[in-house]
Amino acid sequence: MKLSVVGTGYVGLVAGTCFAESGNDVICVDVDEAKIAALRRGEVPIYEPGLEELIRRNVAQGRLTFQTDLADAVRRSDICFIAVGTPEGKDGEADLSAVMAVAKGIGAAMDGYRIVVDKSTVPVGTAARVEKIVGAATNHPFDVVSNPEFLKEGAAIDDFQKPDRVVIGCRSERAWKAMEQLYKPFVRTGKPILRMSPESAEMTKYAANAMLAARISLMNEIANLCEATSSDVEDVRRGVGLDERLGSAFLFPGVGYGGSCFPKDVKALIKVAEGHSLEARILRAVDDVNNRQKGWLFDKARRFVADDLTGTRLAVWGLSFKPKTDDMREAPSVVLIDALLAAGATVAAHDPVAMPVARRIFGERIDYFDSAYDALRGAAALLIVTEWPEFKQPDFARIRELLGTPLVIDGRNLYDRDDMASMGFRYVAVGRQPVGGE
């Protein structure tokens, strides 16, 4: 099939590349000339394991191209995907201005039947709005489809190529058959392609993210209760996770969720509810708990290092909102570092891939280290924000030697409490009683 994908962020770039990998001819379009030029040179603007290799292979084989000319891409495509950003707008609403601008551009460029696919995360009713925008710009026939993505940053290639399910929201039989054919190579193991209305497809995406965010916030509330009651959240997590009705996924306590999806989508769903005169009480609580949880590391630093952090040097491991990505949108590290700097502390930071992004956020206000161990030298404590694999089994003797004080405040519960105490550390973890020290 001949496809165009408008938008070269996480969703658009991954989708376009994976579609090309399965044999389709794909044109990726973006208004950012510098980004398109970089992609043509083989430079990938985001960190996603496996993506760079796939892009280079499909570009070399002529199935994947990059350009800024939307009209040309539409005229050379059968299916046009809209995969532009829908950032949080005023009062938490999703900003759909880019989606509507692309829809208008697609309509104006059409020279025959096209399938227009909403791949961006959009509120319920967006497909209907896109249909009106496109219809006002063309006299040619077309169908609008809602096809939400369910990708995890850091595992997006695998998620796209081996999906749990594919959701297709459409009313047209012609569009359904085309989309079903497009996705058949990705569901050969028997995973379902679900057909539903565009409205149901749009709600499915928001509902999935909201439920996952709710599990995280609920587990963090349980963790805070464990700290207050001398319970151990790791024992509780294991006991709860073995219940087949609940499962163990997304039951790990920590310092809150971040990224481009959960925070934005929870707020957007709250606004959808308000638009229908409904009060989303649980979702508001999910958002509130998450915002409070992002302050956990700073609160523990003030309690276990010093109430007055002026002039105190602290090491921070992990800047991205999760491992295997350089994405720092809504990352707990940003909240932590802002608070530490406001309190007069000095921050020594390390992340395996996100430090260039951090430099754009913090500039030279913090110190950056390519080596995780170099960041520890002379620090009063190590604060762990992101659970990168390389942080899970470090050289503890070296950590203890480099730290000014053998204090580890672990926002991801990476280590065994008893082991840390036996090695001479003061160890503080989420939902667990501190060990070691006085």
Which CATH number fits the domain that encloses residue 359?
Answer: 3.40.50.720
Q: Return the closest-CA partner of residue 410 out of 340, 317, 336, 308.
A: 317
Q: Report whether pLDDT(305) > 90.
A: yes
One domain for residues 42 and 13: yes
Question: What pTM did the predictor assign?
Answer: 0.89
- Read off the CATH number of the domain in which 227 is found: 1.10.1040.10
Q: Rounded CA gap, 388 and 366, in Å?
A: 20
Enumerate the active-site residues.
261
Domain-embedded: residue 438: no
Residue where a domain stops, chosen among 244, 276, 292: 292
DSSP states along 164-195 = S-EEEE-S-HHHHHHHHHHHGGG-TTS--EEE
Q: Rounded CA gap, 266 and 14, in Å?
A: 23
Report the domain count for the chain: 3
One domain for residues 251 and 314: no
Q: Rounded CA gap, 414 and 400, in Å?
A: 16
One domain for residues 35 and 181: yes
Q: Rounded CA gap, 269 and 383, in Å?
A: 33
Residue where a domain stops, chosen among 196, 229, 247: 196
Q: What letter does residue 141 receive in the DSSP assignment?
A: -
One domain for residues 165 and 252: no
Domain-embedded: residue 174: yes
Q: Rounded CA gap, 355 and 318, in Å?
A: 9
For the segment 185-227, what is each residue's pLDDT rounded down to a tens digit?
999 999 999 999 999 999 999 999 999 999 999 999 999 999 9
Residue where a domain stops, chosen among 196, 222, 242: 196
Q: Rounded CA gap, 335 and 315, in Å?
A: 15
One domain for residues 159 and 241: no
In sequence order, what are the residues at sequence separation of 6 or more whose Cβ sits closer than 8 angstroms to the Cβ of residue 328? 258, 319, 320, 321, 334, 354, 357, 358, 361
**In this structure, which amino acid lies at residue 94?**
A
Q: Is 169 exposed, middle or buried (0-12, 13-18, 19+ CB in 10 A)?
A: buried
One domain for residues 300 and 377: yes
- For 161, the domain range is 2-196
The position carrying tokens 């956020």 is 361
One domain for residues 349 and 336: yes
For the segment 158-190, what is each residue's pLDDT rounded down to a tens digit?
999 999 999 999 999 999 999 999 999 999 999
One domain for residues 149 and 19: yes
For the segment 42-86, what is each residue's pLDDT rounded down to a tens digit?
899 999 999 999 999 999 999 999 999 999 999 999 999 999 999
